[in-house]
């Protein structure tokens, strides 16, 4: 698997390259948008890690141009900002996933693996668990075809669970991924929001199988076989 890293912050680019190489990927690295666009179009990469803010052509433009050229290599966009608008811009430009800086290498590596596992022809960005669907571009969720209205925090929570379906997610991990900009979040706050989300995706659909499960002492699992 060959990965192209387009990132102007040389330290970050170098760390990403070394980390991916340890995991057995071949990695090429460039530091500006124009060179990145030329590389991405001229060589056969399995994945592109693309910074959003770049000298020359910015990441959004690089991604749009690649998609216009018919190049559908999965793109993981790095963004320094984590607002909804930035995510929408990134995903609308044709990126397949995004990661907000600062990120842990473990998370980058997990996203890279997930993108490489996807079928080569993209079927869109809608995430599905059973009959629960989540569209990160339109910011809509639905279950059995019925739209679900979510608050901003519930949306972020569900998005995180959808990306990690079937995995046990601890409260600590939810706090650091969903609430990292807020101070003094209590584990109780997480429980309250899990309760809101469960009401909307499970309790509102009594005929469907519950999807959001509590693993006492461990955390939460989104999936059809979460158990107890």
Give the binding site for Ca ion (CB under 5 A): 8, 51, 53
Q: Report the sign of the C-alpha dihedral through residues 133, 211, 129, 188, in that order.
A: positive
Q: Which residue is nearest to Ca ion (CB)?
A: 53
Nearest Cα residue to 50 out of 105, 13, 15: 13
Give the C-alpha separation, 71 to 174, whole Å.
35
User: In the complex with Ca ion, which residue's Cβ is closer, 8 or 86?
Assistant: 8
CB 8, min distance to Ca ion, A: 5
- Quick one: angle between helices 152-163 and 187-198, nearest 10? 90
Q: Which is nearer to Ca ion, 8 or 34 (CB)?
A: 8
- Rounded to a whole number of angstroms, the minimum distance from the CB of residue 100 to Ca ion is 13
Nearer to Ca ion, 78 or 190 (CB): 78
Beta carbon nearer to Ca ion, 66 or 148: 66
- Rounded distance, CA 119 to CA 99, Å? 20
Q: How far is the CB of 69 from Ca ion (least distance, A)?
A: 23
Closest distance between Ca ion and the C-beta of residue 122, in Å?
A: 25
Ramachandran angles phi, psi of 76, nearest 5°: -105, 110
């Amino acid at each position: 698997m060959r990965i192209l890293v387009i990132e102007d912050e040389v330290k970050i680019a170098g760390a990403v390259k070394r980390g991916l190489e340890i995991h057995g990927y071949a990695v090429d690295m460039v530091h500006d948008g124009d060179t990145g666009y030329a590389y991405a179009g001229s060589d056969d990469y399995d994945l592109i890690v693309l910074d959003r803010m770049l000298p020359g052509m910015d990441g959004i433009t690089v991604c749009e141009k690649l998609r216009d050229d018919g190049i559908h290599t999965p793109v993981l966009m790095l963004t320094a900002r984590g607002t909804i608008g930035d995510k929408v811009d990134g995903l609308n430009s044709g990126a397949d996933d995004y990661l907000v800086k600062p990120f842990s290498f473990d998370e980058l590596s997990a996203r890279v693996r997930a993108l490489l596992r996807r079928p080569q022809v993209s079927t869109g960005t809608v995430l599905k668990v059973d009959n629960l669907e989540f569209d990160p571009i339109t910011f809509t969720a639905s279950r059995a075809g019925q739209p679900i209205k979510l608050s901003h925090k519930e949306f972020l929570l569900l998005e995180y669970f959808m990306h990690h379906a079937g995995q046990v997610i601890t409260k600590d991990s939810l706090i650091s991924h969903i609430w990292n900009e807020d101070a003094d979040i209590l584990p109780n706050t997480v429980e309250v929001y899990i309760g809101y989300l469960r009401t909307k995706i499970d309790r509102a659909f009594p005929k469907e199988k519950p999807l959001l499960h509590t693993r006492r002492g461990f955390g939460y699992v989104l999936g059809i076989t979460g158990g107890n």
